[in-house]
A and B are shown apart, each in its own frame.
Chain A
Amino acid sequence: MKEVDLARQRLLGADDVRGLLAAAWDAYEIVMAVAAANADKSAGMYPAFTFARGSAVSGRNAIAFAPSMPACYAPPPATPAPVNGDVHEVADALAGLASALSARLREAAGRADDAGDRGACQDAAGHADQISKLLARGG
């Protein structure tokens, strides 16, 4: 779960709206990839991972419309290395990342100058909350 930890660190380290949007984009992509890779590993977790992946797509698309988001932001991230381990632990990790996403995006929404950025961050934070709800144990 190295990728998840790295994404979380980038989020926490972003110090401006533009940097945060880029880090959030990557974090959503990580959630999408890890959730897709783990969905089939447990019958019980399939619905949670599937819908969490969908929320990650929606969150990423939301920040894509933020005016401060670079138009041609970095190339698509390489497919992350397979995340091995207990699917419940994977879900916990993703829930934690989503929780951090939500907090940082709401924070950015509070200090962004541009209304478009504020709206995009709020919207994306809502999707991050949804990921947390879906993947947090006992959600």
Chain B
Amino acid sequence: MPAAVFGDFLAAASEHLEAAVTLGEEDLTRPPAVAEELSRLVAVMSRYCDDLAPCDQVEASGRDDLHPWERAAIDAAGALRIASGCVRRASGQATADQVSGTAVPQRAQHLAAAAAVLAAGRDLLHTHLAADPDGLTRARSEWASAVTSVPVTRALVHEITRLSLRLAPFTAWLAACAAAHDRPDMPSPAVPASVRDEFAAASQWLQAAGAAVRPALDADPVRPADAELLRAIPAVMVPQRRRPGPSAESVARLCDGITISASRLRGAMRDSQDRARWSPNVTSGGWQWMAQAAAVTAHLGELALRALATRDGQLANPPVRHAQLDDAADLMAAMRAAWQQVDHVWDTMITESRLLPTPAMTEASDLVLRMGRLVWDDPHWTPAHPRPAPMRTPTALAPGTDAVTTVVAAVHQAVDALARTAEADTSAVQAAGQAGRLYVPTRSLPADSDVPRPYATAPVSRCRALEEAYRVALNASIQAVRALDELAVAASAPSNTLALARAAAPTQSRRPGSQPPPDDSNPGGQQPTANPFTHTRAPTDRPGPVEQTIRQRHISDPVMLLRAAAIDSAAQQLLTQAENATPGPDSLNTPANRPRVAGSAAQLAAQSFPRDLATRSAAGQPPRPTRHASSSSSRVTRRDR
């Protein structure tokens, strides 16, 4: 059974949402019956965008370093949050007797299902990231850097806002339904007028969320590969081991097994750097054996690619050309030589504990066995001195174009796992050297070394030589895997998502809790998870004065409304800060402070938020725009122009 990928959840959510908004010619839906489920769905969508927004709109308005899609995520998050609040209030205003006793409408069921699968999809994405004790986001898988990449951000914001745009007319229709139920001739209990208003507002905000991506789409359109990558993101789940058994396996099954072993090997390599500092299970023997397994796997991969290359002139439509396969095979040969060098450097270095089997060795062993059985025409092949088995003929290896693609994908998976191994082991041996866990034979040291034991702590120069050998192996592995990335993409192999993920990883989008890039000006190099600005609207979730003014002027441009909400929120933030900064009663009672208390800017501004009970007591004067708000406003105008 294939592992679940994000695309499964997205597709299911889209399907349910479409069913909910396009269900047949039925009578007017009673809006309260679907409001609760709609509220849940919009809240989940809002959380998606919150995950992607590096800061809130207030902070964003003062920044000019945001990627267009980061800004889109921020704006969409703000709009969806407000829309969610509107629908939630509409739902809350439905009285119990209006919905009790009636069957849950199909629309509501579909909306509930859409919310559930979308929430599950978000959980899937979160399996790749974890917060450490300092509140910083840490990668939990090799997919983490793809999950936080700009291409995935692009695709995800686009998908969520696409759903938002589908919901906007539906929500407007719900507002119309509410209005119809408000008529005196309707037999059922009337729906309060406020429900209609909330749905209407929600529809506008859903539209605003959809509109928030327009500038980003213009500046940096979503590529088909972005969506493909997003859909291909799997959950962090290690597939169950499939032991190479005594019975013969077909080429397709061998390739499937190679994919499983590669995936398990990647899983086994996680966190190996930390373990290298202290774990007695991480040994020189283990590292050396892994280097040997990598060299052998590269060798077998090279043989497989050269066999595939001969099929170029024989198949009608070969998915990849002879030259491409040969080039990749050459890089595999270079990779083998580099790993062989690592193996040789280990001849004269050791850890305090010797060879202990590790999970990574088990997976690499399975990988070697299946790669060997793919290349050699012997279903029981092992690395041991072979029986006189010939190599599998190219025709037997790849009878058709599909089989060429399958074998390319298997080799790609194997080499990708080895490149991850190289990366992990390079860091791990460095950590082991720094922790003083590496030793060399005493006899290999200068004659004046007085060490009465067969092994002595490795000098720095020897540790460096080992690290350098690993770096060469890492570079060779990366070059080989990039060549296979190209092959996989050219052949549309199922493993091409590995290529897309690798291509996406270097362009990271900032997220709440994400670590800054190395050249970030933050000297500490760390950002706290907690975002100081978490809500675009005031805690009341009601329109602020600027938004109200815009609405009173019958302006319905969603982007302008979104900006207005941001300005209101900024003013609210300012108010809160001013409240917190207000000195205590004793210190207020000084000549210097006394005149300011009654007419402080904070209190004046607070009057603009009549629903905010915390500041209402000081009301009494007409609202007037704050300086902060007007400056933000001019910024909005410039940007919207």
Residues of A within 8 A of B (CB): 32, 36, 39, 43-48, 50-51, 53-54, 57-58, 61-62, 64-65, 69, 71-76, 88, 91, 95, 123, 133-139
Contacts and interface: CB of A to CB of B under 8 A. Distances in A.
Contacts of B372: 47
Contact of B386 (A44, A57, A62, A64): A44
B354 A88 contact: no
Given A46-B299, A51-B296, A58-B355, 17 more contacts: A44-B376, A47-B299, A47-B368, A47-B372, A48-B385, A48-B386, A57-B288, A58-B285, A58-B288, A61-B350, A64-B350, A73-B443, A134-B383, A135-B385, A136-B385, A137-B385, A138-B385
Nearest to B348: A76
Nearest to A63: B454
Nearest to B383: A47
A88 B385 contact: yes
Contacts of B50: none
A32 B347 contact: yes
Contacts of B355: 58
A51 B292 contact: yes
A89 B30 CA distance: 87
A65 B284 CA distance: 15
Contacts of A39: 340
Given A43-B299, A46-B299, A57-B347, A75 B443 contact: yes
What 7 pairs across the A-B complex have the smallest Cβ distances? Answer: A47-B383, A139-B384, A47-B296, A139-B385, A54-B292, A64-B454, A134-B384
A95 B285 contact: no
A45 to B, nearest CB: 7
Given A43-B303, A47-B368, A57-B347, A72 B442 contact: yes
B431 to A, nearest CB: 21
B592 to A, nearest CB: 79
A95 B385 contact: yes
A134 B391 CA distance: 19
Interface of B: 284-285, 288-289, 292, 295-296, 299-300, 303, 340, 343-344, 346-347, 350, 354-355, 368, 372, 376, 382-387, 389, 391, 441-444, 451-455
Contacts of A65: 354, 454
Contacts, number: 90
B49 to A, nearest CB: 51
A48 B454 contact: no
Contacts of B292: 50-51, 53-54
B385 A58 contact: no
Contacts of A54: 288-289, 292, 343
Contacts of B386: 44-45, 48
Nearest to B352: A65
A80 to B, nearest CB: 15
Contacts of A138: 385, 387
29 contacts: A36-B344, A47-B299, A47-B300, A50-B295, A50-B343, A51-B292, A51-B296, A51-B383, A53-B343, A54-B289, A57-B288, A57-B347, A61-B350, A64-B350, A64-B441, A64-B455, A71-B442, A71-B454, A73-B454, A74-B443, A76-B443, A95-B385, A123-B354, A133-B384, A135-B384, A136-B384, A138-B385, A138-B387, A139-B384
A44 to B, nearest CB: 5
B454 A69 contact: yes
Contacts of B453: 71
Contacts of B354: 58, 61-62, 65, 123
